[in-house]
Structure 1
C-alpha cells in the first residue's frame, strides 16, 4: 500500500470521528505505527492524546479532551459503532459541559461504565460504575453518548456535589426547558435528606434549596 492510499484510509476513518483516529483503528486498515510517525513528521497528523491523532486541516473539535478520552475507552472500535453507550457514557461534570449547563469544575473527564471496567487505563478520567443504563437516560450530542439532563442532575446529587453547583445546573436546565419540573422533583426527592432538608421535604423543596444555594431566585414549586 502506497503513501497516498494510507492517507486516504486514515481520512475515511476520521470523517465521522471529529477528524480523529486512534492508533489501533489505523492499524486495522493497514497504517502501522511507523506510518503514523511518518505522517506526523510530515505535518499531516498531530497528536491529540495518547494513542489518538488528528488529521491536519480538520477543524478543532469542541470538547476535544472528552472525545479523545472516549475514543481511548475502546480504541479498536469506530465511534459510530459505540453510540449505544455500552463502552462508556459521558456523565457528571463532563455531561454538563456537553449540555452547556452550569459552571462545574472539570479537572477530569467523567464516564458512567459498567462494573468491571478498568479505571486504571486512562489518566485524567474518572469512572462511575453502574449497571447497564436504560437507553432513555442517554442522549447523543455531537456523536457522543451523554447522560440525559435529568439523569445528569441525579448523578450529581448521588455524588454529593455541593448544592450551589447543582443549583446552577438545575436553573439552566429549567430556563431552557430541558427538564419537566414535576418529573425532576419526583426523581430527586430521595436526595432531600442527604442535603440536610428536614422531613418531610421532597423534590420541590430540594430544588428550591439548590437554587437558593446558586443565588437563583425564580420560583420552583409544585404549582409550577
Structure 2
C-alpha cells in the first residue's frame, strides 16, 4: 500500500502540468480516494481551492489560481493539456475575466466568467456562464488558459453593454496589442453603436470616439492616431 509520500508523488505528476493544481477526479484515476485527499489537505500537503480542486503544497501561488480551479472543474477528469488541444475547449474565459486576464482596460472582475456551448449549471456562486458557439478563431491561450481573444472580448462586452468609459480603454488596448484594427472593430461594433451614443450602425464613429476618450499613450506611434484607409 502506498504511503502519503507515494500518493503525493502520483498527484505531483498531475499537478506539474496544471499550474500545481489537480482535481479529485484526476486523483481518483491514480488511486487516491476522497478520504485520502481530505487527509492530505488536513495535514497541509494539499490546499482546497474549491469543491473538488486542490493546489499541491509548495506550488507558487498565482492571481489566476481560482480562475484556473473553476476552469478545471468544468471537466474534472480531463487533463488541462488534453482540453486545450480541443478545437474549442469547454469553458473559455470570457467577458470581464478575459479582459482582466489579457490586461485590457481596468475592469473589475467580480465573477469568473466563461463562455460555454450550451446551458449548464455550476456549483460555484463565483462563476458566471454565457452560452455561445465559439469558433477556433475566437480564442487563444493566455497564462495557460483558453480565453476569448481581444476582438471577441470587446464584442462580448459591448453586447453586455458595459459602460463606455471602460469599453473605450479595452478597445484602445485591443488595438495596441495588435489583435485587431480600427476597421475590424468598427465593423463588429456597428450593431452596438446606438447603445453608446453614436448613430445606428456608426461603428467607425464609435471606435473613433472610444479612442478619443481613452487617449493615446506615449510611444503608441500612429497606430491609434491615423485612421484606417477607406
> What TM-score do you get using the length of structure 2 for normalisation?
0.88
104 and 220 in structure 1: CA distance in 2 versus 1, 3 angstrom threshold: farther
Distance, in Å, in 2 between the alignment partners of 1:188 and 1:40 is: 48
Aligned to 2:99: 96
Maintained 8 Å contact 2:149/2:179: no
The question of 1:20 aligning with 2:21 is answered yes
**Counterpart residue number, 1:116:** 119
For 2:129 and 2:119, the matched residues in 1 are separated by: 10
Residue 121 of structure 1: CA displacement?
2.6
In 2: Cα distance, 1:21 partner to 1:121 partner? 18
Moved more, 78-87 or 15-24: 78-87
Alignment of structure 1 residues 1-224 onto 2, 5 Å: 1-3=1-3, 4-83=5-84, 84=86, 85-118=88-121, 120-131=122-133, 133-199=134-200, 202-214=202-214, 216=215, 219=225, 221-223=227-229
What per-residue deviation string (whole Å, max 9, x for no partner) do you get for residues 129-175 of structure 1? Answer: 012x1101110112211001100000000111111111111122223
1:80-102, Cα deviation, whole Å (9 max, x unpaired):
12113431100011101111111
Distance in 2 between residues matched to 1:69 and 1:173, nearest whole Å: 26
Give the whole-Å Cα distance in 1 for the aligned partners of 2:65 and 2:10: 22
Work out the number of aligned pairs and report it.
220
Maintained 8 Å contact 1:188/1:203: yes
**Contact 2:47–2:54 at 8 Å: present in 1 too?**
yes
Cα deviation digits, residues 29-51 of structure 1 (max 9, x gap): 11111111221222211112222
For the residues of structure 2 that align with 1:154 and 1:140, how far apart are their CA atoms? 18
1:55-109: CA deviation from partner (whole Å, max 9, x where unpaired): 1111113411211111112212211121134311000111011111111121100
User: What's the CA shift for 1:213?
Assistant: 4.3
Kept after mapping to 2: 8 A contact 1:208/1:219: no
Give the deviation of 1:195 after TM superposition.
2.1
